[in-house]
Amino acid sequence: MDPYRVIEVKQSIFEDNNQDAERLRQQMKEEKTFLINLMSSPGSGKTTMLTQLIPRLKDELKIGIMEADIDSDVDAETISHQGVKVIQLHTGGMCHLDADMTRQGVMELGTKELDLVILENVGNLVCPAEFDTGAAMNMMILSVPEGHDKPLKYPLVFTVCDTLIINKIDVLPYFDFDMDKVTEFARRRNPDIRIFPICAKTGEGMDELAAYLKERAQNLK
Amino acid sequence: MDPYRVIEVKQSIFEDNNQDAERLRQQMKEEKTFLINLMSSPGSGKTTMLTQLIPRLKDELKIGIMEADIDSDVDAETISHQGVKVIQLHTGGMCHLDADMTRQGVMELGTKELDLVILENVGNLVCPAEFDTGAAMNMMILSVPEGHDKPLKYPLVFTVCDTLIINKIDVLPYFDFDMDKVTEFARRRNPDIRIFPICAKTGEGMDELAAYLKERAQNLK
């Protein structure tokens, strides 16, 4: 048996996405499952961050991961070694997930017994931000090499996320990345945004992030 | 007078994009203007690369730059100091440019006297690849921090581009980036893809890239 399944999720063009999202959010709340929608650019370290987060939480929370990609199973394969439930969603070329595609993933994953489900969205700072997936929380990663001006250029994703992870802080000495500026620019989009500087490769900053997410998941908010 | 203008480009939903693209390509060919569509993830260094490329070409080619962004004029502002024609295109939230939006930019920029026009597309590895802009050449940047697995995960953009720039090679020692693997993965998508490793910050590799683009522009192919 494969350690993970691959599901082709298809966009529903007849449904109202906001209604679908509210319905899924309500369903997950009733099941006491906390769903996080994780967004970022390609290559900012979503999957690597998850390999650091999972070991810090899996003894206390039952975790499921949904890996969304246009193609390939690279990420689900990586996560399948982490000892949590994982499923690969293929979007068939689509640049984002909507609420109904997320619901299809949730059904296939089987989330009733889970405390925390993380949807790793398609690597894209634009389109995923436009579609409410039904998650209880939107979280994003910006990595140091991408530059501190990204909240100016991709405003919506910084507006809809309440948690911003700054990854790859180990390479800060080699890039012109200003932590004060990124904080200022991100807060212009969302004054309440929580910012966690981390290095997913070494684990730096991951304890604080894990503690925060555990608390959010246990309070379901 | 502002050193650059900002144009709101709007998607035409009534037109056939492929037809529009062919028409624009033909028009540019008649004008002997070589149009390059430059794509990449957010923060991979498109604008910085242009600041290295322009000084290497502007004495021999008349150059125009179209900076496409969802919002902000950060990139047009940067390019406006380079002594070439530049225009900022705002897509109003759209994640890509289509051929008609490109045509609107070309009209506003005024390309008749130009030899080389570079369209810096929205930072996104997914959607821009799906829309033929009418450019004579598709070129992309992948930066070292994004990882060598990107051709597996974002296959279309590597298929439609004939030139792949690998940027930020100065930080190769700090990342697990395998140049042989990225070459193998990219050639699975496009066996003829030309690969140029560069560092846009220091200028390494830029002479080779500039010579190649000059030749392409002068031969209009």
- The answer to whether B152 contacts A74, with C-beta atoms less than 8 Å apart, is yes
CATH fold, domain A5-141+206-216, is Rossmann fold (3.40.50)
pLDDT tier at A74 (50, 70, 90 boundaries)? confident
- The answer to whether A95 contacts B155, with C-beta atoms less than 8 Å apart, is no
Domain boundaries, chain A: 5-141+206-216
Question: Which 8-state DSSP code applies to residue A221?
Answer: -
Q: Which residues of B touch A156 (CB under 8 A)?
A: 70, 93
Report d(CA B155, CA B166) in Å as an integer: 16
- The answer to whether A145 contacts B168, with C-beta atoms less than 8 Å apart, is yes
CB A111 within 8 A of CB A62: no
Residue-wise pLDDT for A29-68, tens only, equals: 999 999 999 999 999 999 999 999 999 999 999 999 999 9
Q: Which residues of B touch A146 (CB under 8 A)?
A: 41-44, 145
- The answer to whether A41 contacts B123, with C-beta atoms less than 8 Å apart, is yes
* Per-residue pLDDT tens listing for chain B (221 residues): 356 777 777 766 666 999 999 999 999 999 999 999 999 999 999 999 999 999 999 999 999 999 998 878 888 999 999 999 999 999 888 889 999 999 999 999 999 999 999 999 999 999 999 999 999 999 999 999 999 999 999 999 999 999 999 999 999 999 999 999 999 999 999 999 999 999 999 999 999 999 999 999 999 86
Q: Order the strands of the A116-120 sheet from edge to edge.
A: A5-8, A85-90, A63-69, A116-120, A34-40, A137-143, A163-167, A194-197
Q: End-to-end CA distance of chain B, in Å?
A: 36
Q: Is residue A172 less than 8 Å (CB to CB) from chain B?
A: no
Q: Is residue B22 less than 8 Å (CB to CB) from chain A?
A: no
Coil, helix or strand at residue A206:
helix
Q: Where do runs of H (alpha helix) occur along A83-178?
A: 99-109, 150-153, 155-160
Got the DSSP string for B6-24?
Answer: EEE----SSS-HHHHHHHH
Q: What is the pLDDT of residue A11?
A: 65
Give the pairing of strands A116-120 and A163-167.
unpaired
Q: Is residue A130 less than 8 Å (CB to CB) from chain B?
A: yes
Residue of B nearest to A157 (CA): B93
Q: What is the CATH number of domain B5-219?
A: 3.40.50.300
The tokens of B70 are what? 């969802």
- The answer to whether B154 contacts A42, with C-beta atoms less than 8 Å apart, is yes
The more confidently predicted of residues B221 and A87 is: A87
Q: Order the strands of the B63-69 sheet from edge to edge.
A: B5-8, B85-90, B63-69, B116-120, B34-40, B137-143, B163-167, B194-197
Coil, helix or strand at residue A36:
strand
- The answer to whether B93 contacts A156, with C-beta atoms less than 8 Å apart, is yes
Q: What is the pLDDT of residue A221?
A: 66
Report d(CA B137, CA B135) in Å as an integer: 5
Considering only CA atoms, which of A151, A174, A171, A176 is closest in space to residue A161? A151
The tokens of B62 are what? 């008349």
Coil, helix or strand at residue A94:
coil
Q: What is the pLDDT of residue A94?
A: 83
Report d(CA A38, CA A40) in Å as an integer: 7
Coil, helix or strand at residue B180:
helix
DSSP E strand stretches across chain A:
5-8, 34-40, 63-69, 85-90, 116-120, 137-143, 163-167, 194-197
When CB atoms are compared, the residue of B43, B71, B150 closest to A146 is B43
Residue of A nearest to B95 (CA): A126
ipTM of this complex prediction, to 2 decimal places: 0.85
Q: Which residues of B touch A149 (CB under 8 A)?
A: 72, 74
Q: Which residues of A touch B76 (CB under 8 A)?
A: none
Q: Is residue B126 less than 8 Å (CB to CB) from chain A?
A: yes
pTM across the whole model: 0.90
Q: What is the pLDDT of residue B1?
A: 37
CB A60 within 8 A of CB A116: no
Q: Where do runs of H (alpha helix) occur along A74-126?
A: 74-79, 99-109
Report d(CA B142, CA B147) in Å as an integer: 8
Q: Which residues of A touch B170 (CB under 8 A)?
A: 174
Q: Which residues of B touch A178 (CB under 8 A)?
A: none
Question: How would you label A151-183 residue by residue, b for 16+ Cβ within 10 Å and e otherwise?
Answer: bbbbbbbbbbbebbbbbbbebbebbebeeeebb
Residue-wise pLDDT for A183-203, tens only, equals: 999 999 999 999 999 999 999
Q: Is residue A184 less than 8 Å (CB to CB) from chain B?
A: no
Q: How many C-beta neighbours within 10 Å does residue A61 have?
A: 18
